[in-house]
Amino acid sequence: MIEKIFIAMIAGLFGLIPVILQWLSGRRKTRSYEHKLSTLSKELELLEKLISVCNLGTENDDYQGSNDAVKRYKEEAERIFVEYKSLQENDLEQKPAPFEISFIRRAFLLFLPVTTMGWLLHTLFYFLMTFMLVMILPEWESPTIDPETGENQFTSLLIGLAVIFGPIFIILQRSAIRLRKKASEE
């Protein structure tokens, strides 16, 4: 029995691999997004300083090239605005809709989580599911029979596991769906 529990724990640890990969991917995307946003902010700040230093666009400006400079400023500001808008659109496209998945997929968490906490909930859900199956399968193949009454103990095992693990599975499932919904609304 200890070997079976050990095998179930190792299987659960393999479930942490997607959590780590998702976390690293999320960090990389966040850094990339923040870097692009920072670059655009610095470019816009530089353009604003340039326009204020050169007094471009004022009516009293005697500088011949001011119209060209104002035109270039507007073009650069437009380019920065378009890049910023595309960053926002890309960010919105990556967010999943919460109810695009079927009832069965939601019930058994058969969808990719969005956040690291979602991965942890999924991993815990499947770790406990594997643990429960490791306890059920050997009993199903060769059931334990009570020597006094001659009754099969398999039904008692199923009821006990349902009472113990059922509420935990429901809590994990609801939490994972709530997290997915919250992430898609942000």
pLDDT of amino acid 41: 79
DSSP for 98-147, written as a single string: TTSS-HHHHHTT-S--SSHHHHHHHHHHHHHHHHHHHHHHHHHHS--B-T
With 0-12 / 13-18 / 19 or more C-beta atoms within 10 angstroms meaning exposed / middle / buried, residue 78 is: exposed
HSE on the CB side for 151, CA within 13 Å?
6
pLDDT of amino acid 160: 92
Average pLDDT of every residue of the chain: 78
Q: Cα Rg for the chain, rounded, in angstroms? A: 29
pLDDT tens for 122-170 read: 888 988 888 888 888 888 888 888 778 878 888 888 999 999 999 999 9
Query: Which residues on neighbouring strands pair with residue 152, listed in sequence order?
Result: 145
Per-domain residue ranges of the chain: 98-186
Q: What is the pLDDT along the chain (186 residues), one digit of tens a residue?
A: 677 777 767 776 776 677 677 778 778 888 888 888 788 778 777 777 766 666 655 555 454 456 676 777 778 777 877 787 777 777 655 554 555 678 888 888 888 787 888 888 988 898 888 888 888 888 888 888 877 887 888 888 899 999 999 999 999 999 999 988 887 776
Consecutive H or E run containing 149: none
pLDDT of amino acid 92: 57
DSSP structure class, residue 95: S
